[in-house]
Amino acid sequence: MSVPDIDQVIRFFHKLQDNICQTLELVDGKGHFIEDDWQREEGGGGRTRVMRGGKVIEQGGVNFSHVFGDKMPASATAHRPELAGRRFQACGVSLVIHPENPNVPTSHANVRFFIAEKDGEEPVWWFGGGFDLTPFYPQHEDVLHWHKTAKELCQPFGDNVYSDYKKWCDEYFYLKHRDETRGVGGLFFDDLHEWGFERCFEFVQAVGNGYLDAYVPIVEKRKAMCWEQQQRDFQLYRRGRYVEFNLVFDRGTLFGLQSGGRTESILMSMPPLARWEYMYQPQPSSREEDLYKHYLIPRDWLGE
């Protein structure tokens, strides 16, 4: 098995963050990402980039972080008790884009690498990541494009990779207390190491670079569409689900907070505005009902 090289991973993550920010600025046409460098007292740090008040992007963040320490956070050892007592390094790029126009979906992407070491023993390492789409007024062709892009980037790595990681995404981004998916899914994977470091790293690069291929065409198609206040209100209501998932279920949020990460950077994934409404029910035969009935459930988008 090839030896993991975290420096090589960090260089790619830096470049990926730059490319995503530059591309989204061009797509937005007005907004710019403001960079905020930070240091972690226990070891490491990162650079947070946030855009607010763009022409398309109401608020979006693209984070790079590299943290390390001598003690594993509880969120990691709970799943992997054999890691207790090891020093660790974790790095990654994580982003969430919240457009203002309700016709443009929210998107999330993440790629990450983790390694835990102990003198005299083999290192334990893995990659994780993926991307998922959360539309409010979905267009079927957009969902197909999103999943087609995901499947194409997975294909060189095995015939079952897309189907396995799509299923994992549907299961991970699922709000149990609401009995619904967060959106229309995409890819999710964790603990990836069995292919060896070089092959796993190639896959992570494909996922990271594939995010823009999947998202930008959708934004370009929908960013000029007209919308009304009623649609905006529904968008803000659905954004509440994003908050619920991130605070209740998201393992990355828990890891960041428990490992002493920078709170502002960890919670930059939150939407700038959201709302809750008691016992909301969509009107029959409305586009809002269409979202609930046909899009917030796992579906074989490319096989139907």
Name the residues annotated as catalytic: 108
Residue 96 CB-density burial (10 A; 0-12 exposed, 13-18 middle, 19+ buried) = buried
79 is in an annotated binding site: no
What is the biggest distance separating any 2 CA atoms in the chain, rounded to whole angstroms? Answer: 64
286 is in an annotated binding site: no
Which residues partner with 62 through β-bridges? Answer: 49, 95
66 is in an annotated binding site: no
92 is in an annotated binding site: no
85 is in an annotated binding site: no
Amino acid, single-letter form, for residue 154? C
45 is in an annotated binding site: no
β-pair type (44-52, 180-181)? unpaired
Nearest 5 degrees, angle CA 125-CA 50-CA 14? 40
285 is in an annotated binding site: no
For 290, other C-beta atoms within 10 Å of its C-beta total 13
112 is in an annotated binding site: yes
CA distances from 244 to 159, 211, 237, 281 (A): 34, 24, 11, 18
| 3-state SS class at 115 | strand
261 is in an annotated binding site: yes
Distance of alpha carbon 32 from alpha carbon 50, whole angstroms: 8
- Residues contacting 289, CB < 8 A, separation 6+: 282, 283
32 is in an annotated binding site: no
Phi, then psi, of 18 in degrees rounded to 5: -60, -45
108 is in an annotated binding site: yes
Binding-site annotation, residues for substrate:
94, 110-112, 260-262
Binding-site annotation, residues:
94, 98, 108, 110-112, 147, 177, 260-262
Binding-site annotation, residues for a divalent metal cation:
98, 108, 147, 177
